[in-house]
Amino acid sequence: MTEEEFDVTPFDVEGTVDYDRLIDKFGTEEIDEELKERFFDLAGEKNLYVDRDFIYSHRGLEEALDEYEDGEGFFLYTGIGPSGKMHIGHIISFYFTQWMQEKFGVNVYIQVTDDEKYWDRDVTDEEIERYAKDNIREIAAAGFDPDKTFIFRNREYMGNMYDGIVKIAEKINNSQASGVFGFDGSTNIGMNFWPAIQNIPTFFEEKRCVIPAAIDQDPYWRIQRDIAEKFGHKKTAAIHSKFIPALTGPEGKMSSSKPKTAIMLDDTAEEVEEKVKKHAYSGGGDTLEQHQEEGADLAVDTSFQWLRNLLMEDDERIQEIAEAYSSGEMMTGEIKEILIQELNDFLQGHQERKENADEKVQKMMYDGELAQKMWDRKMTLNLSGRPEV
């Protein structure tokens, strides 16, 4: 078998979701080769997730890059809902955000939605308290610049945001909120107010806000795009990822509450090994014979998908794996071993950084350059003659 016989590349195999259709549905734009090249040029380096088309769609990224080139710049905004422990799917977005921060030298705002989760989920206050603290340490471990990153818990920071939230809330009516979020009569009035709180950080700077998120989150920012210009602000931009398949296969969703579907950030090396061996969905043949004849279906194979999308930087090596596994030369047991190794390397580094995150957390929440500036400031939105506070 010569190399020419393979038409598989690790960059064009996908599972059951039709991602092109999602671009059409939401009206976003593909990150095409030209934009990819421009993005990497400006960053000074390519990015694994974008390069492999795991991050593949955007809205307004070109404008944000124009503004970066003009010297105006942009800022990043993301968040976490503290309703459980974090898994590998959660943290990827933060690693990407950190990469953008590092390459473009921009500020990052991270909203910890300890209000929204109380409204949305059957989760106690005690749990929210515990998970908020834990999640913040996980996020800090992604390596953000402690002087350019502000992590804030809504319940704690509300006093500094409320004036601006009042202005935003006045611009959104119940019909719009229910149209976008699906609220109804049984929704509590806290959750119904949530769009105003979700939007305020997009106004933290005059520059354009760029939100890294999974593509299905895109519609939630429609309200921001409708109201931003009323406040003399820019419409928020977004950069969209695909979904990370569950360990148990592309049909499922990785979920902290179903441990076998996910690798948790605090899993031990042994737990990772056991989970991958037991639960990682295989695209390999049902029998040795079938596997050797037909090869593996990379599109549904969790090990391959995770290696390609999230973990394996080395283009040549992932290409080799793609070829060997899809041809039936490599067995499922072998690719699982590779995944276990890569996962444990990743987790080991992450866990060490989390272990030593205390000082960074303190800076990102309170004492760093950006955090101090944010705590000294009362956010407002100038409209109808409100004097600057």
- Of the two residues 1 and 389, which places its CB atom closer to a second copy in the complex? 389
- Show the tokens assigned to 145: 């610049």
Q: Give residues with Cβ within 8 angstroms of 246, minimum separation 6.
A: 252, 253, 254, 255, 261, 262, 281, 302
- By beta-carbon proximity to a second copy, the closer residue of 2 and 175 is 175
CB of 193 to a second copy, least distance (A): 4
Do 151 and 141 touch, CB atoms closer than 8 A?
Answer: no
- By the rule CB under 8 A, 71 interacts with a second copy: no
Q: Is residue 82 a contact partner of residue 135, using CB atoms and an 8 Å limit? A: yes
Q: In this complex, which beta carbon is closest to a second copy, that of residue 101 or of residue 154?
A: 154
- Asked whether position 124 contacts a second copy by CB under 8 A, the answer is yes
Q: Which is nearer to a second copy, 161 or 276 (CB)?
A: 161
Q: Phi/psi of residue 105, each to 5°?
A: 65, 35
Kindly tell me which of 23 and 172 has the beta carbon lying closer to a second copy.
172
163 versus 329: smaller Cβ distance to a second copy = 163
> Between the CA atoms of 317, 323, 324 and 327, what dihedral angle is there, to the nearest 10 degrees?
170
Q: Which of residues 173-212 bind a second copy (CB under 8 A)?
A: 173-175, 177-178, 183-190, 192-193, 195-196
Q: State which H helix or E strand residue 56 sits in.
A: strand 55-59
Residues 6+ apart with CB under 8 A from 149: 101, 107, 108, 109, 110, 364, 368, 370, 371
User: Does 384 sit near a second copy (CB under 8 A)?
Assistant: yes
238's CB contacts (< 8 A; 6+ apart) are 28, 58, 59, 60, 61, 210, 211, 212, 213, 217, 218, 221
Residue 101 CA to residue 141 CA, distance in Å, equals 14
Regarding 27 and contact with a second copy (CB under 8 A), the answer is: no
Site string for a second copy, 139-178 (x = CB under 8 A): ---------------xx--xxx-xx--xx-xxxxxxx-xx
Provide, rounded to whole angstroms, the least separation between the CB of residue 109 and a second copy: 18
356 binds a second copy (CB under 8 A): no
Binders of a second copy: how many residues, by CB under 8 A? 42
Q: Which of 6, 119, 231, 366 binds a second copy (CB under 8 A)?
A: 119
- In the bound state with a second copy, the residue whose beta carbon lies nearer, of 187 and 255, is 187
Only one residue has tokens 């929440």, namely: 365
Q: Which stretch binds a second copy (CB under 8 A): 93-101, 123-131, 318-326, 331-339?
A: 123-131
Report the distance separating Cα 37 and Cα 50, nearest Å: 10
Binding site for a second copy (CB under 8 A): 115, 118-119, 124-126, 129, 154-155, 158-160, 162-163, 166-167, 169-175, 177-178, 183-190, 192-193, 195-196, 383-387
